[in-house]
Amino acid sequence: MSSDDESGFLSMTIAADDGLKLHVRDYIGDEASTKNRPPVFCLPGLTRNSRDFHQLAMLLSQDPVAPRRVITLDARGRGASEWDEDKSRYNLVIEAQDVLTACAALGIRQAIFIGTSRGGLVLHLLAASRPDILKAVILNDIGPVLEKIGLMDIRDYLNRGRQPDTWNEAVEILRENHGNAFTALGADDWEDMARAIYASRDGKPVAEYDPAIAAQMKTLDLEAPIPDLWPQFQGFQDIPLMVIRGENSKLLTQATTDEMAARHPGTVVKTARGQGHAPILHFGDIPDSIRHFISTL
């Protein structure tokens, strides 16, 4: 394991069980203040990376009342983690094991986990196999039922192939793909989203994920029934749970959210107004909702 100091966090490299190098950001904060509180561990979506959580991680790690250590992980093939030569290893089982490996390397026995989209699917697997590591869980626009229209949307925009040459073009592409769903965002918010999704290479924005991950979406048989994860969801039964749903989400319906709350009494449900899939967690009143949810943990 190696690390480098960056603004507000340590940038670290951890070896996965198969030797692949995984990148994490460790927002340690004031260790004397955070050591007695469970850390927050963040898992991003399918092609997203740890930068999605930067603003939220800074808010939580530097909270004046109850600061917490925050970990954000780049899954294999995303962000600053290495690409896997064996593309079949971009799967939920391997990625769940990578989370456990990262926790072991960082000395984390239990954490409050935030999972956005695919990151939340990973948490479903951990709920079934290692619920002891889950102090509490926040599922960001994901649940045990995936809507075909939402999967089609993700498949289509990931495989349109248009690559930006400038940052203005990056923002333009994001607006074209997501503008109808993210009506609450202003110009600065779209710029923030672009800087989270794209990395700067020679001054140009470059999407930070292995193209094989987007290509996997092309092979989805959306004519066949999509297996649900209700059996795995049962693993959350004794774990405090919060579900954040984008008001305009096509992947997680209100009906599924209601069923999740019915099956898990005490679930905290938060609607991200004017947002789609997946909500930006540092936007609007969402940070306050997250703070309130974790305040007693």
SS3 string of the chain? CEEEEECCEEEEEEECCCCCEEEEEEECCCHHHHCCCCCEEEECCCCCCHHHHHHHHHHHHCCCCCCCCEEEEECCCECCCCCCCCHHHCCHHHHHHHHHHHHHHHCCCCEEEEEECHHHHHHHHHHHHCHHHEEEEEEECCCCCCCHHHHHHHHHHHCCCCCCCCHHHHHHHHHHHHCCCCCCCCHHHHHHHHHHHEEEECCEEEECECHHHHHHHHCCCCCCCCCCCHHHHHHHCCCCEEEEEECCCCCCCHHHHHHHHHHCCCCEEEEECCCCCCCCCCCCCHHHHHHHHHCCC
pLDDT value of position 90? 97
Question: pTM for the complete prediction?
Answer: 0.96
pLDDT value of position 191? 94
pLDDT value of position 221? 84
Low-confidence ranges of the chain (pLDDT < 70): 1-6, 161
pLDDT tens, position by position, 44-81:
999 999 999 999 999 999 999 999 999 999 999 999 99
